Structure 1
Amino acid sequence: MAKKRYHDTIATAVITGASSGIGAALARQLAASGRRLVLIGRNRERLNAVASDCRAVGADIVIGELDITDRAGLAKFIKDIETAGPIDLFVGNAGILDGRHHGEVIESVDVARHVIDTNLVAAVEAVHMVLPAMRACRQGTIVLVSSLAAFAPLADAPAYSAAKAGLLFYGIGLRDALAEEGIRVVVSCPGFVATGMAPHHIGARPHEWTADQAARHILTAMEKNRGISGFPSALYWPSRLALIVPEFLRRAGGRERRFFVKGSRAN
């Protein structure tokens, strides 16, 4: 008997941050399954465009125009979705890029608070909105989109780095906690990806991938049940070593990645 692939087992997939970038690319690549896709994002126009592409290949689409930090609204939306069928896949992709702005030495405390609340706290709370039903069914997959910044902190975006590191280690811990319950948790750590956030990152973006490349890598890692994955290889392995090399080497390597943020951008 042929081994089942992810698109054979997913009844309903929920993707946050689905209106652009990696989230939109994931939606389009999952659309070929013909399963129900729930697309969550803040921009209805962009969500509708992604939904149209997905419907063109037979996908059943539900749109949720929501900010992930709207806890009450998101919880109600998820509960309504579950009345029509179980959520087998949850992709926590929503997040914002913010950090040091032009002329600043460090990011402001308001920026730090907002980034951590959005990229970590709200993401964890969203996971807990879908977990009870998954645990009751003893099946499901949770994909958390972290960043290479989780391994190699960015001097120009320390809160972003902290939030992504928190999401990575939360995912690793949750994976171990749920291993005996039939629920898989995988964490992906992208490098630079050409998304709507890219123009707000004023600085070098070495080894940048397209959103489609990123989505393919994430879905492959999910299918193979890799607890941690990252890309591109040229940055992934040096990033993983960043915290154990001497400080002067880490700083030297980070100099070519210095940047500042022009506004903030959600994905």
Structure 2
Amino acid sequence: MTEPNTIFITGASSGIGAALAESYAAFGKKLFLAGRNNNRLNDIATKCEKLGADVHRIILDVKDPLLCAQAIEQANAIRPLDLVIANAGISGGTGSSGETDNQVREIMDINIHGVLNTVLPAIDVMRSNGGGQIAIMSSLASFKGLPSAPAYCASKAAVRAWGEGLRGDLKKDNIKVSVITPGFVKSGITAVNKFPMPFLMEGKKAAQIIKYGLRRNKARISFPKPMYLAVLFFSALPLYLSEMISDQLPKKS
């Protein structure tokens, strides 16, 4: 595949989204960077502009389907979108009592509806364009429901399954779909974790892995590989065994 020149990224003001924005930034690139935090968004946009990219800042709440559709359509009208990355998401609960009712609803709303609100209008404009590429940010946590963050795991499992199904469905429209399932990557989400995070990765390295996978049109971009294999093994265990192991895992604090 050729390198995308026009890229729309949600959750671009921090974490993997910001790392991807910087990774794609270069002369000739047009970046549409969407986020909720104006100061952080301006910071990453300025960095990308210094690298030569033409950057459009978009303050956006992905929970709003109308605003998301308008943002995608307006960006596509400026220059047809090559790649849309539905990256915006939030983590699970942080207390010993688990996820609160409000946290569960917020996690589901942003992590599921936020992806739908980004991807569905992207599909519409890419069909009109004659093709494109969509990337959906899931997680290695999507392969197994964990007691430390059940809503987070469920939300990431939902978008992973949806994205993998969409991939086959959209081939006829020349729209490529990849699902990204990272492990621990340094971000605002992992910064609050007080427990050991195996293979914790810098955002820059994660962005390089994702870019390589998207360039090859991989169906699933999973990393780091040792953790991915461990998660697949863990998810294949009988429930009683996996429950015994998950009961011993550290809780968020």
* Smaller-chain TM-score bracket: over 0.9
For residues 221 and 76 of structure 2, the distance between their equivalents in structure 1, rounded to whole angstroms, comes to 29
The CA deviation string for residues 30-77 of structure 1, in whole angstroms up to 9 with x for no partner, is 012531100001111111111111111210000001121132222222
Contact kept, 8 Å, 2:73 with 2:125, in 1: the verdict is no
Residue 53 of structure 1 corresponds to 47
Pair 1:122 & 2:101 matched: no
For 1:21 and 1:253, the matched residues in 2 are separated by: 29
Gaps of 5+ in 2: none
Aligned partner (choices 135, 144, 150) of residue 152 of structure 1 = 144
TM norm structure 2: 0.94
Secondary structure at 2:63 match in 1: coil
Instruction: Choose from 83, 86, 94 the match for 1:92.
Output: 86
Q: Which residue does 1:265 correspond to in 2? A: none
Q: What is the CA-CA distance between 1:204 and the residue it aligns to?
A: 2.0
User: Cα gap change, 1:33/1:187 in structure 2, threshold over 3 Å: closer, same or farther?
Assistant: farther
Let me know the Cα RMSD of the aligned residues. 1.7
TM-superposed deviation, 1:127: 0.4
Compare the two structures and name the one with the higher strand fraction. 1
8 Å contact from structure 1 (residues 11, 86) kept in 2: no
- Structure 1 position 100, deviation (Å): 5.1
Amino acid corresponding to residue 223 of structure 1 in structure 2: R
Deviation at 1:255, TM superposition (A): 4.9
Q: Deviation of residue 248 (structure 1)?
A: 4.3
Distance in 1 (CA, whole Å) between partners of 2:182 and 2:54 is 28
Query: Deviations for 1:195-242, whole angstroms, at most 9, x for unmatched residues?
Result: 112222232211100111111111111111110121111210121232
Q: What is the CA deviation profile of residues 131-189 of structure 1, one whole-angstrom value per residue up to 9, with x for unaligned ones? A: 11101222100011100011122211111000000010000000000112211000110
Aligned mates of 2:182, 2:235 — CA distance in 1: 18
Q: Does 1:180 align with 2:172?
A: yes
The equivalent residue for 1:44 is 38
How many correspondences in the alignment?
253
Q: Which of these residues, 185, 197, 204, is aligned with residue 205 of structure 1?
A: 197
Identical pairs, percent: 35
Counterpart-to-counterpart distance in 1, 2:26 and 2:88:
22
State which drifts further: 190-199 or 165-174.
Answer: 190-199
- Aligned-residue offset at 1:252: 4.8
Q: What amino acid is the match of 1:127?
A: V
SS in 1 for 2:26: helix
Q: How does 1:8-157 map to 2 (within 5 A)?
A: 10-32=4-26, 34-99=28-93, 101-102=95-96, 104=97, 106-157=98-149
Larger RCO of the pair (alpha carbons < 8 Å, separation 6+): 1
Closer, same or farther: CA 21–143 of 1 in aligned 2, 3 Å? same
Choose the corresponding residue for 1:5, options 2, 6, 17. 2
Shift, 1:243, TM fit: 2.6
